[in-house]
A and B are shown apart, each in its own frame.
Chain A
Amino acid sequence: MSVRLFLLALSAILLLSVMSGCLSENALERAQILGDSYVDYIDVGARFATEAGDVYSDVARYIFGAEEVLEFVSFADMLENLRLGKVDAILLSDGFSKQLQDSGAYPNLNYLLVPEEVYVNKAGPIFHTEELRDKYNEWFEIVAADGTWQEIVNRWVGVSLPKSEDVPKFELTGENGVLRVCDTGNYPPLTYFDENGELTGFNIDMTNHFAHYMGMDVHVELMAYPAIGVYVKSGKADMSAATLAITDERSEEMLFGEPSIITQAVLITPQKDNFDEEFAIGGSPFASGGSPFDSGGSPVEWLRVSIYRNLILENRWEMFVDGLWVTLIISLAAQILGTVLGAFVCWLLTRKLKFIRAVGTIYCTLIRGLPIVVLLLMIYYIIFGDSNISNIFIAIVAFSMTTAVTVAADLKGAIETVDPVEIEAARSIGFTAFKAFVTVTLPQAVRRGLPAYTNGFVELVKATAVVGYIAIQDLTRVGDIIRNRTYDAYFPILFVAVVYFIMITICIQLFKFIVKKVNVKGGGN
């Protein structure tokens, strides 16, 4: 036993020394690239956090020699991981870091502007067609020349967020159609929801200017940053409002417009002295961003502040209501459609002809074998790739397809429990096969299948939490957006959890009530 412990300790020491060797070597390399004066900042460790799909993951790897790069979809997650010590540094663009500094949400951070000689990031919007790209470049030349462009940049970049009345509004008439653009909606100052709950930011401002020039109306769809490239490429949007960093690799795949943003990278690290203790605690409501367990203040105070920031400020609760509504609509519609489709699949599965049965079996096997997210993305990009069908409709289709499989299986099982003699008896009176099914089999099958059906619906409601993948703002996704706006990693998650819990509990009780009613009517055995 003691020998084992000794060996374990020995291997741990060996491992540590090897690792520390690596660390200092990395730090050395970085110092050579960045210059000696940066040594304090760069010897931060080997784990970096960047935004998913952004160029900074490569910058972290190749310029800062990061050993591990964690890519996050949400900025609140990056900060929280930094606070918890799961990453050592965050690398992101300077435009965003300014907002973070201003907010005071996380006061004890160091911000290091990476010098232009080391890395500079040119970013521009991407386009579906060359024609539109050329139009954009034409427009860009004009606004760059007459100073409009600088005006837009000055309004947003490197300053505090402007008030909504300071942002110019356009009467977009849309006589030349609708410009379909996509963006993330969660990256101030580039794109975010303002105090009135309206989408605004540099990207949106720029897009509105361009659309005005084109004589088009604008329709913005929101999605996760990594999805934007595919979205425009597949033609679901004409262009991105979001700017993407222009790299050689990307230029081969996408049509970039003139770079509209030239940004520097910022390296964010915790201040080492008061690391952890005071990291995330400030005085103003806006500056409290910790978890309920270590905020220092009383839980009641934490709750009050959190509710204010995440729900009341800028009427954010309205977004939650909308999200809940979307979740409910998708769930209910998918359940209804899935039931109809499931009944049809069940019909296929109970045919005498082997060939028809096989069709049903293959369908069920295929759908069962796919994660719902994969199915959702397949339907979204492959089947409805270049059509303009509403995303919510696509989600309903995808979830109907999975619901159909469970409904078909449950229904088939329930039908098989019905005594065949009862069906024969109905036939012998003169009921046709169909009428006997409707009068005898179905009522009994429904009664026996209801409990499983209830469970299926609950599973469906929970499963719809992934629709954010195709840019639908359901309850879960709204939680994400709010987290990115308030930098609060905990409260929105907890709030979303509570809402789901209440909604599902209500559904279960409702179904229980229905089951009880049906059973009383049916004799209750």
Chain B
Amino acid sequence: MLKIENLGKRYGDNVILKNINVEVKKGEVISIIGSSGTGKSTFLRAVNFLEPPTEGAVYFDGERITKQNVDIIRRRMGMVFQSFGLFSHLNVLNNVTAGPIKLLKTPKREAEKKAMELLKTVGLFERAEFFAHQLSGGQKQRVAIARCLAMSPEVILFDEPTSALDPTMVSEVMAVMRNLAKSGMTMLVVTNVMSFARDVSSRVLYIDEGGIYEQGTPEDIFDNPQKTKTQIFIQAIRSFNYEVTHHHFDHAQMLACVEEFCFRHAISRKITNRLMLLAEELVINIVTPKCGTCSLNIDFSEKLEIYELSVLYGGEKVNLLDTFNNHLSTTIIKNSAKELTFEYSEDKNVIRAKI
């Protein structure tokens, strides 16, 4: 029912998406996953023309979506946003009935009756008279779903529906979405909740490098990913990056960022201290005094027990650890790292330390 052909989106010279081809059948639940900044949201927004694609076409039930007919087609293609977008001047009930009354010319009483039914299914029957600012995040998102359903759409696009929610509220929204999927609704869901993608969806798209990098059934993607980036993503390798733009940069801030990253991923104190020590000696004492600018990366995977810190700097091929061979910092680094490697390719020097 939804066919996406060679879809591409660019802002000037900046290509976000290219050559995306997807065909969505009725009743399919498609999860779209990938790291942030890879264009997952842009993809959804291009599909319903909130940000019209710069290349390719989208067909809805065989009809090509254009700027002219999109307002009509959107009535049958709902969308749920990360930040809810409830109409703040209307109460819950009027939020849900606004579309049917104003667009479908449904009689008010009928629209309200249907709205109350929908609010019942999302568990907010009692909140009909409330305003958005009186609701929790999870409740707001459920109202937004009800508002979407009030138009009786044939497909719903979910744009990270739970990423603005506290962890305690994610499950209530997910429960509603699970029920929807069960009822046979066609859904495209951009999500970072892997359990939903694995358990509910019929197909998973992994987006990277401006397109669909790998796709398949949840089993294919989660248990047996074929390509490297998918593997890294699925194996939950978390990365940290810090760009040093000047040799008089803010040392304390960089170290604080490293510490915060470690804290967020519950990395043990011992390893945190070692990562911070390495960052301090390598970046502050070895690389920046010589090069000025460099970039610090930390990759970590709990599953694979990988802790890797690398510093990347430009210029001619030179291993600064050799240059400062007799330096105290070099000794400290050598003692702290389990394994030290040096690479040079395309004008870039990389010193890599594994713990």
Q: Is the CB of B75 within 8 A of A424?
A: no
CB within 8 Å for A428 and B89 given contacts A421-B81, A525-B133: no
Within 8 A of B (CB), among A408-429: 419, 421-422, 424-429
Given A429-B147, A444-B88, are A424 and B81 also a contact pair (CB < 8 Å)?
Answer: yes
Tell whether A523 pairs with B75 under 8 Å between CB atoms, given A422-B88, A443-B89: no
Most B CB contacts (10 A, CB to CB) among A419, A428, A444, A525 go to A428
Interface residues contributed by chain A, number (CB under 8 Å): 21
Is B98 interfacial (CB 8 A cutoff)? yes
Q: Which candidate, A103-111, A430-438, A461-469, is the interface stretch facing chain B?
A: A430-438
Query: With A and B bound together, what is the CA distance between A427 and B81 in angstroms?
Result: 12
A522 to B79, CA, bound (A): 25
The answer to whether B131 and A525 touch across the interface, beta carbons within 8 angstroms, is: yes
Min CB distance B240 to A, Å, is: 30
Provide the residues of chain A in CB contact with B329, threshold 8 Å. Answer: none
Q: Is B257 an interface residue (CB 8 A)?
A: no
**B188 at interface (Cβ–Cβ under 8 A)?**
no
Contact B71–A447 (Cβ < 8 Å): no
Query: Shortest CB–CB separation between residue B345 and chain A, in angstroms?
Result: 43
Q: Verify B89–A522 contact, CB threshold 8 A.
A: yes
Interface of B, secondary structure class, is mixed
B72–A430 CB distance below 8 A = yes
Contact check, B50 vs A428: say whether CB atoms are below 8 A apart.
Answer: yes
- By a CB distance below 8 angstroms, the chain A residues around B78 are 428-429
Is there an interface contact between A440 and B99, defined as CB atoms closer than 8 Å?
A: no
B71 touches A432 (CB 8 A): yes
Give Cα A432 to B102, complex, Å: 11
CB-CB nearest in chain B for A448: B89
Asked whether B74 lies within 8 Å of A525 as measured between CB atoms, the reply is: no
Q: Does B87 contact A (CB under 8 A)?
A: yes
A503 CA to B81 CA, complexed, in Å = 49
**B85 near A419 (CB under 8 angstroms)?**
yes
Are B103 and A429 in contact (CB-based, < 8 A)? yes
Task: A432 to B70: give the CA distance in the assembly, Å.
Answer: 9
Of the candidates A421, A425, A447, the one having the most CB atoms from chain B within 10 angstroms of its own CB is: A425
- B84 interfacial contact with A, CB 8 Å: yes
B65 within 8 Å of A (CB atoms): no
> Is the C-beta of B284 less than 8 angstroms from some C-beta in chain A?
no
A424 to B81, CA, bound (A): 9
Q: How far is the CA of A428 from the CA of B103 in the complex (A)?
A: 12
- What residue of chain A has the Cβ atom nearest to residue B83's Cβ? A421
A387 interface contact, C-beta 8 A: no
**Interface positions of B from 78 to 137, Cβ below 8 Å from A:** 78-79, 81, 83-91, 98-99, 102-103, 131, 133
Quick one: closest A residue to B134, CB to CB?
A523
A197 to chain B, nearest CB (A): 51
CB distance from B161 to the nearest CB of A (A): 13
Judging by beta carbons under 8 Å apart, are A429 and B81 in contact?
no
Contact pick for A439, options B72, B98, B147, B148, CB 8 Å: B98
A422 near B86: Cβ-Cβ < 8 Å: yes
Given contacts A421-B85, A422-B85, A523-B88, contact A430 B131 (CB under 8 A): no
Q: How far is the CA of A525 from the CA of B50 in the complex (A)?
A: 29
Q: Given A523-B89, A525-B131: A430 and B151 within 8 A (CB)?
A: yes
Question: Using Cβ atoms and an 8 Å threshold, which residues of chain A touch B89?
Answer: 440, 443-444, 447, 522-523
Q: Is the CB of A429 within 8 A of B74?
A: yes
Instruction: Write the nearest CB–CB distance from B95 to chain A, whole angstroms.
Output: 9
Q: How far is the CA of A439 from the CA of B97 in the complex (A)?
A: 12
Report whether A427 and B88 are in contact in the complex, using a CB–CB cutoff of 8 Å: no
Q: Say how far A196's CB is from chain B's closest CB, in angstroms.
A: 56
Quick one: closest A residue to B150, CB to CB? A429
Pair A429/B151 contact, Cβ less than 8 Å? yes
Chain B residues with Cβ below 8 Å from A429 are: 74-75, 78, 98-99, 103, 147-148, 151
Q: Decide yes or no: A425 and B86 within 8 Å by CB, A439-B98, A439-B102, A523-B131 being known contacts.
A: yes
Residue of A nearest to B157 (CB): A428
B74 touches A430 (CB 8 A): yes
Q: Which residues of A contact B147 (CB under 8 A)?
A: 425, 429
Q: Is B31 an interface residue (CB 8 A)?
A: no
**Dominant secondary structure at the A interface:** helix
Which residues of A sit under 8 angstroms from B72, Cβ to Cβ?
430
For B87, give its contact among A427, A440, A447, A525 (CB under 8 Å).
A440
Closest to B156 in A: A428
A426 to B88, CA, bound (A): 12
Say yes or no for B144: interface residue by CB 8 A criterion: yes
A435 with B88: CB separation less than 8 A:
no
Known: A439-B98, A439-B102, A525-B133. A428 touches B86 (CB 8 A): no
A440 to B85, CA, bound (A): 11
Do B99 and A523 have beta carbons less than 8 Å apart? no
Considering the complex, give the chain A residue whose CB is closest to the CB of B72. Answer: A430
Most interface-central of B73, B75, B88, B151 (chain A CB within 10 A): B88
| Distance from A408 Cβ to chain B, minimum over Cβ atoms (Å) | 22
Asked whether, in the complex, the Cβ of B144 is within 8 Å of the Cβ of A431, the reply is no
* A447 to B88 Cα, complex, angstroms: 12
**Per-position contact with B for A504-525: 1 when CB-CB < 8 Å, else 0?**
0000000000000000001101
Within 8 A of B (CB), among A436-455: 439-440, 443-444, 447
Q: Within 8 Å of chain A (Cβ to Cβ): is B48?
A: yes
Looking at the assembled complex, report how far the CB atom of B156 sits from the nearest CB atom of chain A, in whole angstroms: 10
Once the chains are docked, how many angstroms separate the CA of A523 from the CA of B90?
7
Query: Which residues in chain A, 476-525, are within 8 Å of chain B measured between CB atoms?
Result: 522-523, 525
Knowing A427-B74, A443-B89, A447-B89, say if A435 contacts B83 (CB, 8 Å). no
User: Which residues of A lie under 8 Å from residue B91 when comparing CB positions?
Assistant: 523
Task: Indicate if the CB atoms of B85 and A424 lie closer than 8 Å.
Answer: yes
Q: Please give, as numbers and ranges, the residues of chain B lying within 8 Å of A419 by CB-CB distance.
A: 83, 85, 88
Of B50, B75, B81, B90, the residue contacting A430 (CB under 8 A) is B75
How long is the Cα–Cα vector from A435 to B81 in the complex, in angstroms? 20
Closest B residue to A444 using CB positions? B89
The residue in chain A whose Cβ has the minimal distance to the Cβ of B71 is A432
Q: A513 → chain B, closest Cβ, in Å?
A: 19
Quick one: closest A residue to B73, CB to CB? A430
Given A421-B85, A443-B89, A525-B131; A428-B79 close (CB under 8 Å):
yes
Contact B85 A425 (CB under 8 A): yes
In the assembled complex, which residues on chain A have CB atoms less than 8 Å from the CB atom of B50?
424, 427-428
Residues from chain B with a CB closer than 8 A to the CB of A447 are 89
For the complex formed, measure the closest distance between the CB of B128 and the CB atoms of chain A, giving whole angstroms. 13
Bound together, the chains give a CA A525 to CA B89 distance in angstroms of 9
**How many Å lie between the Cα of A419 and that of B90 in the bound state?**
14
Contact A430-B88, Cβ < 8 Å, known A421-B81, A525-B133: no
With A421-B83, A523-B133, A525-B133 as known contacts, state yes or no: A428 contacts B88, CB within 8 Å.
no
Output the least CB separation between B71 and chain A (Å).
5
A237 to B38, CA, bound (A): 75
- B147 (CB) vs chain A CBs: closest residue: A429
Task: Give, as a whole number of angstroms, the nearest-CB distance from B146 to chain A.
Answer: 12
A431 with B71: in contact, given A421-B83, A424-B50, A439-B102 (CB under 8 Å)?
yes
Whether A430 pairs with B103 at a CB distance below 8 angstroms is: yes
Is B88 within 8 A of A525, CB to CB?
Answer: yes
Q: Cα distance A128–B147 when bound, in Å?
A: 70
Give the complex CA separation of A440 and B102 in angstroms.
12
Q: Chain A contacts of B48 at CB under 8 A?
A: 428
A139 → chain B closest CB, angstroms? 70
Which A-chain residue is minimally distant from B95 (CB atoms)?
A425
Please measure, in the bound complex, the distance between the C-alpha atom of A419 and the C-alpha atom of B78, giving whole angstroms.
19
Verify A431–B103 contact, CB threshold 8 A: yes
In the assembled complex, the CB of A114 is this many whole angstroms from the nearest CB of chain B, namely 74
CB distance from B190 to the nearest CB of A (A): 14
Residue of A nearest to B100 (CB): A429
Min CB distance B45 to A, Å, is 9
Q: Which 6 A-B pairs have the closest CB atoms?
A: A425-B85, A430-B75, A523-B131, A428-B79, A421-B85, A430-B74
Please give the residue numbers on chain A whose beta carbons come within 8 Å of chain B beta carbons, in ascending order. Answer: 419, 421-422, 424-432, 435, 439-440, 443-444, 447, 522-523, 525
- What would be 5 A-B contacts, judged by CB atoms less than 8 Å apart? A422-B87, A424-B50, A425-B85, A431-B99, A440-B87
